[in-house]
Amino acid sequence: SKFEYVRKFESDDRCLPNCWMVVRLDGKGFHKLSSEHDYDKPNDSRALALMTKSAVRVMEEFNEICLAYGQSDEYSFVFKKDSELYNRRKTKIETNICSLFSSSFVYYWSNFFPQTYLKYPPSFDGRVVLYPTNQNLRDYLSWRQADCHINNLYNTAFWALVQQGGYSPSKAEERLRGTVASDKNEILFSEFGINYNNLPELYRKGTILLRRKVEQEHEKNVVGQNGMVETQRYTKRRMTILPLNVDIIGDKFWEENNDILGSYM
């Protein structure tokens, strides 16, 4: 029709080739959402599991994602460097990933919060960031995991002071102002008997999602030589999405999973 010229106003936004494309999503106003839905403090394992379930759904759909990393209300998805998804169109990638994650979050909500009515549809922003080198990509992921650690240590100390120490929120904040990591560890240990390093790695490290072949046990019934039906066990290797709660700042993880970055190390 004579109106079709308006398509020319769309812009081309392909990502530079040969760069890592990372999509980061972050919950909008999750301060409010977490408190309105009574998230446990400082960490709600149901909420974290729901985030990870949604991320797994995204990885099942987009198989060019080779790694994902999540913590708090955010998830980052790393596409393999030579991905040609949507011709690397930036907006297409951002909106598709963000949309599927968001709808999955609602879709699976009741699996993780069976008792809690979801009061309104939540939402997430999304963005693609490009990283030219393996080092840049590792630094990006380190940045997010360091952020997880910093926030979690703070929040753990804060809520210990409030929930166990009887501090008001503002008093707790005051107490923690200006403290460094070791101070917070000390408060936790000496005042509340909490050894921070013994807390679940899920909280301290966040969640890494990888594609991995896993052995799966199967059984089948066969008629044996003696004519009797026997149950035979065997294993099959299947591609699955594996969650890990480990350090990704140091070299160990990357050495053990050296397929991700390819020739890097």
Ligand X SMILES: Nc1nc2c(ncn2[C@H]2C[C@H](O)[C@@H](COP(=O)(O)OP(=O)(O)OP(=O)(O)O)O2)c(=O)[nH]1
Where do contacts with its own copies occur on this chain (CB under 8 A)?
A: 1, 3-12, 14, 16-19, 25, 28, 57, 90-92, 94-96, 98-108, 118, 120-133, 136, 139-140, 142-143, 146-147, 150
x/- letters, 41..80, toward Mg ion (CB under 5 A): -------------------------------xxx------
Distance CA 163, CA 182 (A): 21
Does residue number 122 form part of the binding site for ligand X (CB under 6 A)?
A: no
Which lies closer to ligand X via its Cβ, residue 51 or residue 188? 51
Contact pick of 52, 55, 59, 72 for ligand X (by CB under 6 A): 72
Report helix, strand or coil for 144: helix
Please name the residue that has the structure tokens 């408190």.
35
Angle made by CA atoms 34, 78, 99, in degrees to the nearest 5 = 50
Contact pick of 19, 23, 47, 97 for ligand X (by CB under 6 A): 47
Which lies closer to its own copies via its Cβ, residue 8 or residue 233? 8
Which strands form 207-223's sheet, in the order they lie side by side?
Answer: 124-131, 20-27, 74-79, 65-71, 207-223, 229-244
In angstroms, give the least distance from the CB of 120 to its own copies.
8
Which lies closer to Mg ion via its Cβ, residue 109 or residue 167? 109
Burial of 265 (0-12, 13-18, 19+ CB in 10 A): exposed
Binding partner of residue 112 among ligand X, its own copies, Mg ion, none, CB cut-off 5 to 8 Å per kind: none
User: b/e for 37-72, b at 16 or more Cβ within 10 A?
Assistant: bebeebbbebbbbbbbbbbbbbbeebebbbbbbbbb
Which lies closer to its own copies via its Cβ, residue 126 or residue 206? 126
Which lies closer to Mg ion via its Cβ, residue 65 or residue 126? 126
Distance of CA 206 to the CA centre of its chain: 7
Distance CA 168, CA 60 (A): 44
Does residue number 34 form part of the binding site for ligand X (CB under 6 A)?
A: yes
Binding partner of residue 14 among its own copies, Mg ion, ligand X, none, CB cut-off 5 to 8 Å per kind: its own copies
- Contact status, residue 158 vs residue 173, Cβ threshold 8 Å: yes
The residues binding Mg ion (CB under 5 A) are: 26-27, 30, 72-74
